[in-house]
Amino acid sequence: MLISSLELENFKVFHGPNRISIGQGPGNVVVVQGDNGRGKSTIMEAVFWCLYGKEKRHDRLVPTQYPSIVNNTARKEGHNFARVRVAFEHDGRRVEVERSVRARPHMPNPTRKSDFDEELHFRVDGRDLGADNSLLYEMFPEDVASFFFFDGETISRYAEAQERNRETVEKAVGLPYLRQAREDIEKVRKDFEKDLRDVQSSPETEKTESDLKELRGKAVELVTRLNEQESALEGLNTDIRQHQRNLEEFDDLRGIQQRIQELEDFSRELDREELSMQSSEEVFRSELPWLVLGKFVRGAVETVGKVKEQAVQERIEQGRLLDQIEFMKDLKGSGTCICGTSMDADGMARIDEALVKLESALGTIQVIETDRYSWTQSDLTTAMGKARSVEEEARGVHGLEAKRRYLDDNRFRAERALERENESLRAHSAQNLREKEVFDRLTQLTKEKAVVQSKLEEVRDALNVTRRQVAELERQLEISFSKKSSASRAILESISRANRALKAFDEIVDRSAEQKRAEIEVRSSKIYTSITNKPKEFIGLSIDPQSFEVKVRAEGGDLVESRKLSDGERHVMALSFLGGLKDATHEGTLIMDSPFGRLDQTHKTRLIEKIPDLAQNVVLLVTDEDLRPDDWKSLAGVQRRFMLDHDQHQKFSRIQEVN
């Protein structure tokens, strides 16, 4: 904050408009000089009141007291109005803060705060932000202002260990900016964590999961029902198959019964055949004598046949014998052997002998022939015819016998088959159920099966529908999970990045604080060593990293307790600390009210010499006693000089620039 002008109108001791201008060089020191009670400290109060709406009393900022803020003379003149305006530059911005109070209309003697209207105008680069001076607090917090607009009477307090000091110093070096950024990162990280929770538990997904759970439950229920129906169907199928088998057994029974019937019909047919057979046998028995006769006839015929055949053979033999006899006779008559030689007696004898034998044989044959041919040919023919008739009868007998065998055989087989069929019938009698009952039951079972199948199909359809729905929901969930997973990964990465940034900021804050502390320590020490009258004994200042307590560092490095220092030494120490702090912040206006109060002349002189270096601009509020003629010689860089003129009669002051 580099103050360029300060205007006070009717503010406390100051009557009418008053102005302190702080221009650009040459010199950077503005001296406002006035005796005690003329308004030096009021100038400091005016700055605090204008900027923060508070008054500074004994190093503390307290709420403004009304109506004492309005100059008494002005009030008496009827001007119940006070105004302070501070113009400054900050980070390249032109800022004006103007605060005023005015008694409300028809309030001739205002005594309470409520009798006044307070008005604030905060202008940045010509833009009036009205009463919104939040930016001011970011630019120049009131705690920091206390360090740069200070009262020399209480300056020693700034070197004491106070938590407020640390906080204020941190503000002065800008650490709250970093802390604010850290807080913002923390906030963003929490937002990310909330986003993550939202992503992981989105209402749509929860509803899908709920629906899916419900559908899965329904599917399980349907599967149970399906199993029940399938089990019922299986039971019905078993019953139906059993009843169908029963019906098939009825078919078997009917077959057996039919076959039995056929066999019984066949038996009756055999019986009829039997009767026919018996009739035929009766006829046969009546013809039996003929049949017996026939046997003899047949024997006779055979004999006749054999005889006839034998006779033929014998005729042939007879012929041969006759031929031989004729030959022999011819041979005997010729007397010549067949070899052409004359036959002797012996030969002749032999021929005779042969002739005897041949004629004997021929005689035998002729006898036999005579016997055999005692029957006549007609007898033979008749016998043969009768024999043939008997043969035919015999063949009828054979037919009867064959038929008898056929009958006997079939009757046997029919009886055996009937026995088998009856046996089967008896075997089936164990399941001899009434067919109608079985059929009715089968019909009922078939109907029940149809019902169960219908239910089964119904349940199966419902199950298929449910399974499709489950699949669809699972697909949706999979997509959702995929999206969630992707989103979660991205958010987790952001959280991780935020965590790393937080750690980085923590380290930045710590290291920056330490760096600033060290810098302030170095700059304060430099100022201190240039002011102290014991530069060899005290080699600098030490600022505690934790408490920010300022101590003097003695030669050898030992730290000197503040209570062991004189008031003046403590004063120099505090001034050096504030100067170092200001120096470390590189810019701004330093307003010092009575900074020499506790200093001996040596310290005072050195401080006066150092004043231009303490800040970019320095406003020095001093009494005539504070700056004696010799002191003015030591004070370099005076840009402007103002005097506080005081009207003893009217009891008000005015600020007059001294050329």
Residue from 120, 129, 161, 188 touching another protein (CB under 8 A): that is 188
SS3 95: strand
Binding of another protein at residue 590 (CB under 8 A)?
no
| Closest CB 586 distance from another protein, rounded Å | 6
| Closest CB 85 distance from another protein, rounded Å | 22
| Closest CB 512 distance from another protein, rounded Å | 5
Binding of another protein at residue 132 (CB under 8 A)?
no
Could you count the other beta carbons within 10 Å of the beta carbon of residue 222?
A: 21
User: What is the maximal distance between C-alpha atoms in the chain?
Assistant: 242
Binding of another protein at residue 178 (CB under 8 A)?
yes
SS3 151: strand
Contact window for another protein (CB under 8 A) among 78-86, 132-140, 250-258, 367-375: 132-140
Smaller CB separation from another protein, 192 or 577: 192
SS3 119: strand
- Residue ranges of alpha helices (H) inside 429-548 are 435-531
Binding of another protein at residue 545 (CB under 8 A)?
no
Contact pattern from residue 192 through residue 231 relative to another protein, giving x for each residue in contact according to CB under 8 A and a dash for the rest: x---------------------------------------
Residue from 490, 539, 560, 643 touching another protein (CB under 8 A): that is 490
| Closest CB 545 distance from another protein, rounded Å | 16
Number of residues that bind another protein (CB under 8 A): 39
Sign of CA dihedral 387, 388, 394, 398: positive
Binding of another protein at residue 515 (CB under 8 A)?
yes
Smaller CB separation from another protein, 519 or 549: 519
d(CA 606, CA 613): 12
Sheet strands (E) in 573-616: 589-593
DSSP structure class, residue 651: T
As given in the structure block, the two tokens for residue 31 are 């001296």
Cβ atoms of residues 640 and 28 within 8 Å: no
d(CA 116, CA 472): 73
648 to 37, 320, 642, 652: CA distances (angstroms): 11, 221, 19, 7
Could you count the other beta carbons within 10 Å of the beta carbon of residue 385?
A: 12
| Contacting another protein within 548-587 (CB under 8 A) | 584-587
DSSP structure class, residue 114: G
Contact pattern from residue 437 through residue 476 relative to another protein, giving x for each residue in contact according to CB under 8 A and a dash for the rest: ----------------------------------------
Residue from 108, 174, 399, 545 touching another protein (CB under 8 A): that is 174
Contact window for another protein (CB under 8 A) among 168-176, 332-340, 605-613, 639-647: 168-176
d(CA 308, CA 369): 10
Residue from 442, 462, 477, 508 touching another protein (CB under 8 A): that is 508
The secondary structure of 191-232 as a DSSP string is HHHHHHHHHHT-HHHHHHHHHHHHHHHHHHHHHHHHHHHHHH
As given in the structure block, the two tokens for residue 654 are 């005015």
Q: How many C-alpha atoms does 14 have within 13 Å on its Cβ side?
A: 28
Contact window for another protein (CB under 8 A) among 70-78, 313-321, 327-335, 486-494: 486-494
Contact window for another protein (CB under 8 A) among 408-416, 435-443, 474-482, 497-505: 497-505
| Contacting another protein within 134-163 (CB under 8 A) | 135, 138-140
Residue from 131, 283, 504, 518 touching another protein (CB under 8 A): that is 504
In terms of phi and psi (left: phi > 0; alpha: psi -120 to 50; beta: otherwise), the region of 619 is beta
| Closest CB 621 distance from another protein, rounded Å | 25
Interface ranges with another protein (CB under 8 A): 90-91, 135, 138-140, 172-174, 177-178, 180-181, 184-185, 187-189, 191-192, 490, 493-494, 497-498, 500-501, 503-505, 507-508, 511-512, 515, 584-587
